[in-house]
Amino acid sequence: MPSIAITGTPAVGKTAVSAMLGLQGWDVATVAELAKQYMCEGKFDELMDSLEIDIHKLSEQYDSTSLENTIIDGHLSHFLDVDAIVILRCAPEVLRTRLTSRGYDEVKINANVEWEMVAGTWSEILEFEINKPILELDSSQFSPEQIAFMITEWLDDDYTLPEGDDSSAIDWLAD
């Protein structure tokens, strides 16, 4: 089985979906755990209230061959050498509610909602020319169980997108 990155803006449901896949027998690792394991942690960023991770160093150092049948959970996971990428997206108004319920401050909420609105993860994938099979799902419309099922179906179908899916990125600004 492959290694799969589950990526997206904070609060889109990466950890919940990864946990569902873990119940199906997948090993689950987080980018934070891998950063610690490979000594790629940076300083604590007071403004963003999070630990910095040197993702470029991590992507060079970690051993992807040991991560078969593994879900890598994290908003930077798409930078790692994986077999496929799942991008979870969330409608900005739903995302704002989720981030608020987590107690994020207004600066961090706005930064993450803006990142989601402009499809920041897609921008990184295009900028760094990451060429892996990609499945994009809207977590504001589906439960973690439904998303885990869709991912499993996608993997079982050799990364074939569902019929009628034109594989274009969700565009919150077009609505």
Residue 67 pLDDT: 63
Task: Give the H or E element holding residue 47.
Answer: none
Q: Which amino acid is at 126?
A: L
Residue 50 pLDDT: 79
Residue 50 and residue 44: Cα distance in Å, rounded? 6
Residue 2 pLDDT: 86
The CA distances from residue 148 to 23, 26, 102, in Å, are 10, 11, 23
Q: Which amino acid is at 23?
A: L
What is 3-156's CATH number, 3.40.50.300, 1.20.1440.230, 3.40.50.720, 3.40.190.10?
A: 3.40.50.300
pTM of this structure: 0.92
Q: By C-alpha distance, which of 154, 174, 165, 20 is closest to 91?
A: 174
How do the domains of the chain map onto residue ranges?
3-156
**pLDDT cut 90: percent of the chain above it:** 80
Residue 145 and residue 131: Cα distance in Å, rounded? 27
Q: pLDDT tens-digit profile of 27-71?
A: 999 999 999 999 999 898 877 677 899 999 999 998 777 667 899
CB 55 within 8 A of CB 79: yes
